[in-house]
Structure 1
Amino acid sequence: MSYLLENPLILQLIVFASIIIFFWSLELVIFSQDIKSKASHSLLNAKFISLVLPVQMLLSTVVFMVANWTVDQSWGLLHLLPITENKVVYFITAFIAIDFFDYWYHVMMHRVPWFWRFHQIHHSDMEVDISTTVREHPGETAIRVSYLALIVFVLGVPASFLLLKQFIQSFINLTSHSKVKLNPKVDRIVSWVFVTPSTHHIHHHYVLPYTDSNYGDILGIWDRLFGTYTSMEQSSIVHGIDTNMDAEENSDFKNLVTRPFDGERIHSTNPVYANKTSLKSVK
């Protein structure tokens, strides 16, 4: 335990893996899934870890170095506010601020063509479950963690805050991809504050405008504030992206890794490439 507390990144990975194993098993039991097909699907997604983890660990080190520097220099927007002495107020303010920027990061990954090249690998999963969480192209990992380093530099937050925030974020991200969902009545209440599996699965629906909705990372309030929230019947959700609905192609690891660099294989449901239906038509 002493070693884990001194190496928080290792502790985070252990917690992350424990949550995945728990929900993976729960999905298997509740939905009576075929264990061979589920294991095959999960193994495909798990392969991305071998490419993502080195990038994540390297750039996370940079993030923590930036965080420590901002504290030493009292640098960042948060240091301009009279809240640094009150740890509770500081944590809540910093948490909301970073989650706000995380929302816009997700929007950017859909709206900027070059970024979408990498992010669409995550959306190409046609059977979203707990393992989909780790289905991230290393190119997106580099963009995501570099963006975090920039936000940490702008806001000025300590490494200890980042670790706690990452624990919360990991839990929400994992559970939001899980097939295990809340009771609809409970979900309608909780989704006003937090991202839930039901709201996030809509984001994984294969066609616009649903693909470009429900961008929230932890807090669900941003989608409602900025008009990107939508809802639909869970039974009507079809996972994937409509321009890449070939199951065989989307289960080929080599193809998925190289796809962002092949212009002829890049298609998108985002408004840069396709006609966008207004969200107002489905609210």
Structure 2
Amino acid sequence: MESFMHFWEHIESWQRMAILLGGMVFFWVLEGYYPMFAFSFKRYKHAGVNLLFLLSTVILNIVLGAITIKVCDWVTTHHIGLLNWLGLPLWANILLGLFFMDFFGQYAPHYAMHKIKWMWKFHMIHHSDTKVDVTTGTRHHPGEWVFREASTIIGVLVIGLPIGMYFLYRSMAAIFTHFNHANIRVPLWLDKPISWILVSPNMHKVHHHFKRPYTDTNYANIFSLWDRIFGTFAYEDPRNLQYGLDVLDGSTDENLRYQLRLPFDNTIKTDY
């Protein structure tokens, strides 16, 4: 276990990028063979628009991630946070670290973005995609990433997350994001048991249904237990779902200029 964490403590930037892109390519190929929905669209154009959002995310990760890494180093040096106080075995620290970082890095800011009007307008870009596939997981307005990383930093302080666990969490979060957004066909007999503890593809697709109340469910990224604990879990056969948002014109989902302006367009209804 020590050698496992040693890898994450010293992981190179190119290795982290390989995990991010490798997972995306893997599910991109897989959804070509086992698609959940046979969308009628230009797959490469759709991916190109979403990957432009990924570029902004990578740039922000370099800036904000550097701050988060400094905070990880600080809590380790000064023995701040739960993991530094509880004195648990390494394997337990890893599980607790991943579990609670899923709350601070994903569930909490995600919930807030659905409940606070001005934050929701940034998050609407992610939900505006009418053809959800693996590239949709990268589709976030740059402003949204600021909310997420700020909450992540709070989590690092509360948990006392060391640098290695931060990199491990980021990689796990990326893999689950690809897995959950991928347009892959997962039979209900397999998907449902996965969703008892972890976020499954069919479970997350419910979150991308075009109208409430399903839109306001399933906020977690790795552990479905957070949604079960807070009563935001929902499950539905994906064949009964429709992607997008009922307050937006679905034909604008690949209009990059329109999407970037969405948070600042006062004519857009937010349904609040």
Superposition TM-score, scaled by structure 1 size: 0.87
Aligned length: 263
Paired AA for residue 224 in structure 2:
G
Paired AA for residue 265 in structure 2:
D
Residue pairs, 1:88-237, within 5 angstroms: 88-101=91-104, 102-237=106-241
Q: Kindly state the Cα deviation for residue 144 of structure 1 after the two structures are TM-superposed.
A: 1.0
Q: Which has the higher contact order (CA 8 A, sep 6+)?
A: 2
Percentage of pairs with the same residue:
29
**Other structure's SS at 1:248 match:** helix
Could you tell me whether the CA contact under 8 Å between 2:217 and 2:234 is conserved in 1? yes
Paired position in structure 1 for 2:3: none
**Other structure's SS at 1:211 match:** helix
Could you tell me whether the CA contact under 8 Å between 1:128 and 1:177 is conserved in 2? yes
Structure 1 Cα separation of the partners of residues 209 and 153 of structure 2: 30
Structure 2 Cα separation of the partners of residues 36 and 140 of structure 1: 27
**Other structure's SS at 1:179 match:** coil
Q: Kindly state the Cα deviation for residue 239 of structure 1 after the two structures are TM-superposed.
A: 0.3
1:30 aligns with 2:34: yes
Structure 2 Cα separation of the partners of residues 250 and 167 of structure 1: 28
Paired position in structure 1 for 2:257: 254
Paired position in structure 2 for 1:87: 90
Could you tell me whether the CA contact under 8 Å between 1:128 and 1:239 is conserved in 2? yes
Structure 2 Cα separation of the partners of residues 5 and 89 of structure 1: 17
Paired AA for residue 250 in structure 2:
A
Indicate how the Cα distance of structure 1 residues 268 and 39 shifts in structure 2: closer, same or farther if over 3 A, else same. same
Runs of 5+ in structure 1 lacking a partner?
274-283
Q: Kindly state the Cα deviation for residue 107 of structure 1 after the two structures are TM-superposed.
A: 0.8
Could you tell me whether the CA contact under 8 Å between 2:206 and 2:214 is conserved in 1? yes
Structure 2 Cα separation of the partners of residues 13 and 263 of structure 1: 37
Q: Kindly state the Cα deviation for residue 35 of structure 1 after the two structures are TM-superposed.
A: 9.4
Paired position in structure 2 for 1:17: 21
Structure 2 Cα separation of the partners of residues 36 and 192 of structure 1: 33
**Other structure's SS at 1:136 match:** coil
Q: What is the CA RMSD across the aligned residues, in angstroms?
A: 2.0
Structure 2 Cα separation of the partners of residues 136 and 177 of structure 1: 13
Indicate how the Cα distance of structure 1 residues 138 and 206 shifts in structure 2: closer, same or farther if over 3 A, else same. same
* Ranges of 4+ aligned residues in structure 1 off by more than 6 Å: none
Q: Kindly state the Cα deviation for residue 57 of structure 1 after the two structures are TM-superposed.
A: 1.1
Deviations 1:55-81 (A, max 9, x none): 111100110110001100111233222
Given the alignment, which residue of 41, 66, 74 partners 1:69?
74
Structure 2 Cα separation of the partners of residues 7 and 115 of structure 1: 33
Paired position in structure 2 for 1:277: none
Indicate how the Cα distance of structure 1 residues 240 and 35 shifts in structure 2: closer, same or farther if over 3 A, else same. closer
Runs of 5+ in structure 2 lacking a partner?
1-7
Could you tell me whether the CA contact under 8 Å between 1:203 and 1:213 is conserved in 2? yes
Structure 1 Cα separation of the partners of residues 74 and 185 of structure 2: 41
Structure 1 Cα separation of the partners of residues 121 and 39 of structure 2: 32
Superposition TM-score, scaled by structure 2 size: 0.90
Structure 2 Cα separation of the partners of residues 35 and 16 of structure 1: 27
Q: Kindly state the Cα deviation for residue 6 of structure 1 after the two structures are TM-superposed.
A: 5.1
Paired position in structure 2 for 1:268: 270
Could you tell me whether the CA contact under 8 Å between 1:202 and 1:210 is conserved in 2? yes
Q: Kindly state the Cα deviation for residue 5 of structure 1 after the two structures are TM-superposed.
A: 8.5
Structure 2 Cα separation of the partners of residues 73 and 181 of structure 1: 47
Structure 2 Cα separation of the partners of residues 49 and 150 of structure 1: 24
